[in-house]
Structure 1
């Protein structure tokens, strides 16, 4: 799976319950919240998305996961709002001379992670965007806050050189049975990974089925008024080809007035469907009820999505429950 944000761990947590060989490739272009503050203080890859993925795939006891995820509520100027796991990842990055990739592998062993967690690059990246009015901004949080129509996104390394994914990331993509993109913010969680040149090329060249889990809601400052076909058009345009094989689309309506838009202010309206537009881009469309409503928010139902992903492998679902092992 390739992505970042809050949607990726939901699917990974459900996959973790199954007999699936999982590799999560996680964005390193986040510059908001605790991750952004740590990145400003210490020149390390932003740890937040990596932290959540590690917890989703960890076999540690629940109490240790809660400690790792604990976020300080102190009024201390530095620690307030920071998750303990973010600080641990930052510390391991400083201790490891070979970058964040090896640090995350070491932490994966410490946390008894089942599967692989790979940072998309071995250095912190900067997300850049050009808007429809021709203006350009750098930084994920700045881009989202601009509330303009994004025409093009790309990433740059800290030294100005084009970023590269490490060999293990490319090998995982080429050896996979499925490449799953999302769910997650189109421009700030998914595209930053694909814009790493050798990573994006590998996704286009692999013989694996490339599956896109379309977002349920449009997102302020990113995908306002987008249909599901618009999401795929953006991905295809950035990669220069129609590379998405299958799209998972939620068709269950979100009840009116259910969502708390103060709490989830970045999400606007339910994504509209354009099945004709998807098919014109060569996509197989799988539509179903993938909706989970909780805490007055709208989420993907991880179990429903994972069942569909496993069906696409051609194996019976019972195989993943260990019946054939």
Structure 2
């Protein structure tokens, strides 16, 4: 009997749904583990007003894995215009997730309910049942709390950690048990693509998630960003990205790194529109190998809308190749 490979994808932001859309059409059992430390935009407003886990990243992942017709997915993603005052900037999906969270009294159950309604192929798990706050220490010694504050500081980050947002008694952030079980049973664990400090690490800074990933027998694949981010990863090489991940978890746990080697054409990027990015990530293959990584370097680049993105099909093909190589 054919064993459906179990792939766990961990992250947040805009990169995660891109990979998930491609994996959805593969013969694999997909679990998306989504950060709950976002506090910007519509997610941040809803989080502050009704004390729910921020829904934005969860919404994008649900749509990426949904089998519903295009119109229903577009309605779920629809964002009210800024002239709409009361509803300005809110996505319909964010409001639905928030409403279901109140009805169920629990974000995890709400997302499972919504997964059934949206005909999800796979599983979508918020990493934690409670909103988490991302904290950062910068290289100048200062600290900040809040993902959007950290992003907009445009300062070099030394380390990040998470704390429960409603932390009255100093308790530790905990993952939902289903997340740990999915990681333990995974054949492949995929990190990214996404912001290193604000999309990927918030998940891994939950102690039991870090422990499960480090102890997993699955191949851990990191999809390295194509462009650096202002303040966060200025002048970073691919080896620097991996070094930060390994340092935060206290061991060299990344097995394989996907690195784009196709040059981004000069003058193609519209830095006004894509104002969080700086320049293409530099290469340090020796630095990667020193950390025990297998390096898959290829043309993973897709140019569109004057921005540089990962080519979904090429990334997914390579992920499936890795699975077959490891398990054949």
Question: How high is the TM-score relative to the length of structure 1?
Answer: 0.95
Q: Distance in 2 between matches of 1:16 and 1:78?
A: 35
Q: Distance in 2 between matches of 1:104 and 1:49?
A: 12
- Say yes or no: does 1:243 pair with 2:263: no
Does the 8 A contact of 1:143 with 1:221 survive in 2?
no
* Counterpart for residue 136 of structure 2: 129
Q: Distance in 1 between matches of 2:71 and 2:112?
A: 22
* Counterpart for residue 270 of structure 1: 280
For residues 134-160 of structure 1, give each alpha carbon's deviation from its aligned partner in whole angstroms, at most 9, with x where no partner exists. Answer: 111000011111111111100000224
Displacement, 1:77? 2.8
For residues 204-252 of structure 1, give each alpha carbon's deviation from its aligned partner in whole angstroms, at most 9, with x where no partner exists. Answer: 0010000000000000121011000000000000000000000000000
Aligned Cα RMSD in Å?
1.2
Question: How high is the TM-score relative to the length of structure 2?
Answer: 0.95
> 1:17 aligns to what SS in structure 2?
coil
Q: Which runs of 5+ in 1 are unaligned?
A: 317-325
Q: Which runs of 5+ in 2 are unaligned?
A: 1-8
4+ residue segments displaced more than 3 Å: none
Displacement, 1:315? 6.3
* Counterpart for residue 199 of structure 1: 209
- Say yes or no: does 1:40 pair with 2:48: yes
- Say yes or no: does 1:9 pair with 2:17: yes
For these two proteins, the number of residue pairs brought into alignment is 316
Displacement, 1:74? 5.0
For residues 63-101 of structure 1, give each alpha carbon's deviation from its aligned partner in whole angstroms, at most 9, with x where no partner exists. Answer: 10000000001523331111000000000111112x211
Does the 8 A contact of 1:132 with 1:150 survive in 2?
yes
For residues 228-286 of structure 1, give each alpha carbon's deviation from its aligned partner in whole angstroms, at most 9, with x where no partner exists. Answer: 00000000000000000000000000011111111001011000000000000000000
* Counterpart for residue 112 of structure 2: 105
Q: Distance in 2 between matches of 1:181 and 1:162?
A: 23
